[in-house]
Amino acid sequence: MKYVIGTLSCLLLCLYNYAQDTSGVNEVATGLRADGKIYVVVAVVVTILLGLVIYLISLDRKISRLEKQGT
């Protein structure tokens, strides 16, 4: 259930993105569209980094649990 809700909320966010996209190219570039959309790249890179870090933290905790079981 947790995952279903998570997936659905992600999908909703995607729809929100599509809704934003109809604005067209000629409009003034604001927010993440400023400066040649470089902020989009920053967002992608930071997301990847954070994803990897969260994965590392979960591994770390899992191993800590295993270590406790061993002793």
Partner 1 sequence: MRRYWWKILSIALLLYAFTAGFFIVVPDIGNLQHSIRNLFFHVPMWFGQFTLISVSVVYSILFLRKQDMRYDIYANEFARTGIVFGVLGLITGAIWATYTWGAPWNNDPKQLGAAIALLIYLAYFVLRNSMTDIDKKGRVAAVYNIFAYCMYIPLIFVLPRLVESLHPGGKGVEGNPGLGGEDLDPTMRMVFWPAVLGWTLLGVWITTLRLRVRLIEEKKLSVIR
The SS3 call for residue 28 is coil
Which residues inside 7-36 make contact with partner 1, applying CB under 8 A? none
**Contact (Cβ atoms closer than 8 angstroms) between residue 39 and residue 32:** yes
Q: How many residues bind partner 1 (CB under 8 A)?
A: 16
Selected from 13, 24, 28, 70, the binder of partner 1 by CB under 8 A is: 70
Could you tell me which residues come within 8 angstroms of residue 61 by beta carbon, excluding any fewer than 6 positions away? none
Interaction between residue 56 and partner 1 (CB under 8 A): yes
Measuring CA to CA, how many Å separate 10 from each of 3, 6, 14, 15, 48?
Answer: 10, 6, 6, 9, 16
- Between 9 and 69, whose beta carbon lies closer to partner 1? 69
Instruction: Provide the binding-site residues for partner 1, judged by CB under 8 A.
Output: 38, 41-42, 45-46, 49-50, 53, 56-57, 59-60, 63, 66-67, 70
